[in-house]
Chains A and B, each alone.
Chain A
């Protein structure tokens, strides 16, 4: 069964620091990849997604992610974080070529940005 690993469970950064959150998945076929953000007390919002094409994907709020097929990775980056980026971030993968319709989510990374 496919799995998604988010290596960092809790990350603490100061404002203006650069961010990189790791995401690795186990499936070797064609994948669709997502990053979601959940602000405290709110629902999940889609940050960005990759289906095909340019492996560097730009999303909302200044976030981007790079799909590296050889490393089975889809890491999320932001050059300069703000206090308002404090939230939980979830990576999700769909094994497109299996025909399965489910997203498999990682367990999440809690980001805390200190002013």
Chain B
């Protein structure tokens, strides 16, 4: 069955370190998204991509970057991790231009 996987599922890192969260989907969807989930804020869009070599900033993109070199993967990089980036991160993909299928999430703690 097609699916979205995220790795790692849990990560603890230190302030200032570079961190990359992986997202892999086998739906063959062109559209992929990264959201973060924080208490009291629901989910907020970080970055999104509508196809290979296409990336776009979402509403909370500062301190994050993505790259899209193939259809299946959209890794999210925190260039210099900050405590404010402690959160649960969800990757999603869709046939339409809106997130519909979510991955299991990565819980990131920045100390």
A binding-site residues for B, Cβ under 8 Å: 4, 32, 34, 36, 42-46, 49, 90, 92, 94, 101-103, 105-108
Contact = CB atoms under 8 A, between A and B. Distances in A.
Interface of B: 40-45, 48, 50, 56, 58-59, 90, 92, 97-105
A36 to B, nearest CB: 8
Contact of B103 (A43, A103, A105, A107): A43
Contacts of B102: 36, 43-45
Contact of A106 (B42, B100, B103, B105): B42
B100 A101 contact: no
A98 B103 CA distance: 27
A105 B41 CA distance: 8
Contact of A49 (B44, B100, B105): B100
Contacts of B100: 34, 46, 49
B90 A102 contact: no
A43 B59 contact: no
Contacts of A4: 42
Contacts of B59: 102
Given A43-B105, A45-B102, A102 B42 contact: no
B48 A101 contact: yes
